[in-house]
Amino acid sequence: MSVLSEDIKNRIRDYIPRYPSKQAVTLPALHIVHDELRCVPTEAVREIADLLDLAPAEVQDTMTFYQFFRTEDDKLGKTRLWVCRTLACALRGADDLLEHCSKRLNVPVGGTTADGKITLEFAECIGACEGAPAVLVNDEHVMNVTNERADELIDRLRAN
């Protein structure tokens, strides 16, 4: 059975006319799958390769380069919470914040809460340095995150 729904496949196919090569659809396809399934299963790699006339190894090669996409035994939670650790944030308490989040969520950095709600990660500069320390909730910035604000954010993410 196919792991990619017809809808996902169509959304991937929609990208093909944008580029002179089908291979260029690799990243968009990986994002579509990853957003939806919270990981890119091995079978999905094969199916993406099929859609784009590539060898599965080519998709796998690109995918693993980015260290961004999760595999099925290491699935993301509903929310991916990235805590920036780079200089501007480090100068304003990022280490504390990351440690605080790790304790509060009771997961190691990179881990996912038991209820599958939140995956905690560190990030390199997320480009929100005027609001250091900053975090990213999936792909949206939250700035000036004190420990208290982190707690509120985590409570909110847990509730939904």
Partner 1 sequence: MPYEPVLLARVNRPDSPRLEGYRNDGGYAAFERVLREKQPLDVVNTIKDSGLRGRGGAGFPCGLKWTFLPKDHPGPIYLCINADESEPCTYNNRILMEKDPHQVLEGIMLACYAIKCQTAYFYIRYEYGTAYRTLQAAIDELYAAGLLGKNILGASFNLDIFLHRGAGAYICGEETGLIESLEGKRAWPRIKPPFPAIEGAFRKPTIVNNVETMACVTQIMRRGIDWFKSLGVPPDPKNPRDAGSFGPKLYTLAGHVNEPKCVELPMGITIRDLVEQHGGGVWKGRKAKSVNPGGISMGFVDVNAPLKGEDGKTEYDIPLDFNGPGRVGCLGLGTAAITVIDDQTSMVDVLHNTCQFFSHESCGQCTPCREGTGWMLKITDRLRRGQGRREDLDILIDVADRMGIIPGTTICGLSDGAGWPVKTAIRKFRQEFEDAIKVGRKSVVRSLPIAGVH
By the criterion CB under 8 A, which residues form the site for partner 1? 18-21, 23-28, 30-31, 52, 58, 61-62, 65-70, 74, 82, 85-88, 90-92, 95, 98-99, 102, 107-111, 121-132, 136, 138-141
Instruction: Tell me how far apart the alpha carbons of residues 146 and 86 are, in angstroms, rounded to a whole number.
Output: 16
Residues that bind ligand FES (CB under 6 A): 84, 86-89, 125-129, 132, 134
Cα torsion 28, 32, 38, 41 to 10°: value is -80
Picking from 48, 42, 4, 3, the residue whose alpha carbon sits closest to that of residue 22 is 48
Phi, psi at residue 19, to the nearest 5°? -125, 150
Residue nearer to ligand FES on the CB measure, 27 or 125: 125
C-beta of 78: minimal distance to ligand FES in Å?
Answer: 23
C-beta of 154: minimal distance to partner 1 in Å?
Answer: 17
